[in-house]
Amino acid sequence: MKLISFCSVVCVITLVFGSCSKTNDSGTTTGGGTGGGSGGGTTVDTTGPLKASALTFPFGFAVDYTLMNNDATYAGIVKAQASSVTFGYEMKHGALVKNDGSEDFTRADELFNLCTTGGLVVYGHTLAWHQNQNASYLNSLTVGGGAGSPNLLSAGDFEAGTGTTGTGSTLFTGWNNLVGGTGAATFSAVAGNGSTRAMQVTVTTAGANAYDIQSIGPSWTATVGDSYKVSVDIKSSVSGGKVRLVAQNSLYQQSDITPTTSWATYTWTLTAGESSPIFRLNFPNTGTYTIDNVTIVDLTTSPAPTPAQVAVAVDTALSRFVRTTVTHYAGKIKAWDVVNESMADGASGLRTAANTSVAAGATDVFFWSQYLGRNYALKAFQYAKAADAAALLFINDYNLESNSVKLDSLVAFVNELKGKGAQIDGIGTQMHISINTSYSAIDNMFKILSGTGLKVRVSELDVRANPSNDPSFSATTNILNTQAAMYKYVVSSYMANVPVAQRYGITIWGVSDADSWIVTTQKQVDAPLLYTGSYSKKTAYTSFLQGLRGQ
């Protein structure tokens, strides 16, 4: 989405509507007040909903987790007007990936269930992007721990020991396996992740305390203040299980991991607070957990990894995120933005760190292309295809209606990827436009996109009423009418220039002016959406509806 070109999307928008007067979805005004500078220009229309007039493609809104949960008017509009939704944040890398590289779908699943039980189809957004990342985790893959870095933890490979099952320290040399309290579990030696032996723990009854079932490993020599990276291979028999990594002597530090049912490497970066911490594994949840290849390296003193090692680590992280996310929603989400904003602004070409401006202080930026080159996009499409062969896969970008060079670059990149075997089913055009956007440029973009033969989706539409960012802006009736005409023109041009079989929908990026990213994230005074801040339908709503109807 275009907002990321300026700054990160926040995952929680403060609920500001509690004291506002509301308008019901039939358009009957029940009180005054407008948001985002959109005074006046409202209209009553009782002949919706929008989804009923979008006869040849889905119509949707981008939705916010907090508002869908807590604002009944907001949620009611979405359910009444839309057939589909896109999550503004909850399915992005930064929302799902924890600092150890594992994923937590709790919040995304809650919003998914809320929407689907309300009759809405969820569109997947987004898998490979340069912002809204857990960049702390991704950047940890590119520093320290390279070839020649010594493993400070002895016996981390679990190869030494006697027997195949039991507790105590004989099963795995250097590890003392304990079952106490109310817990019940067995420890055994099994084949590992490319090794002869690994630790397997089957927890049949979880203990009252996380440490009731644990394996206490060796201590290691640390330098207080140095950064250390703990890496461990884990697979679980259950989704939603937990393994807790602990460093403890006199100081306690921990990191919780939610492993998948396939082998994966999880990392934990910590700053040493004592000189001889002891490494422990706690098993607080039921399930079978297999542990192998535990390493601890000093990031402060260890040599940097080679470019080849970094590429492998980054590729693994991309594969893991795409495959895990798409697999989690396989059969439930039918289409995904796989690659987002791959083209640079200006003279365009592939987006990289060198040609992209990053907001000062941004901590969520990570460029896959910096480590994987042009093929990062190819890999993302391949991983998504492998995870759900039935899903439709899209590439998505912005300013395609205003930058013809960028538009041509994107089409050329799509052809390049398809030539390498990528499945690309469609192109999303974000269309964060304004009342001044050229009508002819909009027509030209839709004609070029439809010429690819792929599906075309207007993925993030809004129309700025105050493109000059005048802080004293107040929308006049003339401005709102001009905005309404632009909304109508977009949908009319889409329907005129994109064949029916290639239409994959239009999504408005937000519901009311007050929850628009332009107002909440960019902190601009504007009125870019179909509803006022008090949920009155604007002239833009009626004009957009007329466009859907071909009027």
Span 139-173, pLDDT tens digits: 988 887 766 678 999 999 999 998 888 776 789 99
| CB atoms near residue 487 (< 10 Å) | 27
- As a CATH number, domain 2-140+309-548 is 3.20.20.80
- Rounded to 5 degrees, φ, ψ at 261 are -85, 5
Domain boundaries, the chain: 2-140+309-548, 176-303
In this predicted structure, the answer to whether residue 340 has a pLDDT above a threshold of 80 is yes
In this predicted structure, the answer to whether residue 4 has a pLDDT above a threshold of 70 is no
- Rounded to 5 degrees, φ, ψ at 529 are -115, -170
- pTM, two decimals, is 0.77
Residue 478 CB partners (closer than 8 Å, separation 6+):
none
What is the C-alpha to C-alpha distance for residues 215 and 209, in angstroms, rounded to an integer?
A: 14
Q: What is the tens place of the pLDDT at every residue in 174-200?
A: 999 999 999 999 999 999 987 889 999
Q: Are residues 231 and 265 in contact, defined by beta-carbon separation less than 8 angstroms?
A: yes
Q: What is the tens place of the pLDDT at every residue in 278-333?
A: 999 999 999 999 999 999 999 888 888 889 989 999 999 999 999 999 999 999 99
Pick the CATH number of 176-303 from 2.60.120.260, 3.90.1560.10, 3.40.50.1820, 3.30.420.610: 2.60.120.260
The residue length of the chain stands at: 551
> Across residues 482-508, what is the average pLDDT?
98
Q: Are residues 20 and 455 in contact, defined by beta-carbon separation less than 8 angstroms?
A: no
Element at 296 (helix H, strand E): strand 287-298
Query: What sign results for the dihedral spanned by CA atoms 158, 160, 164, 170?
Result: negative
Give residue 18's pLDDT: 32
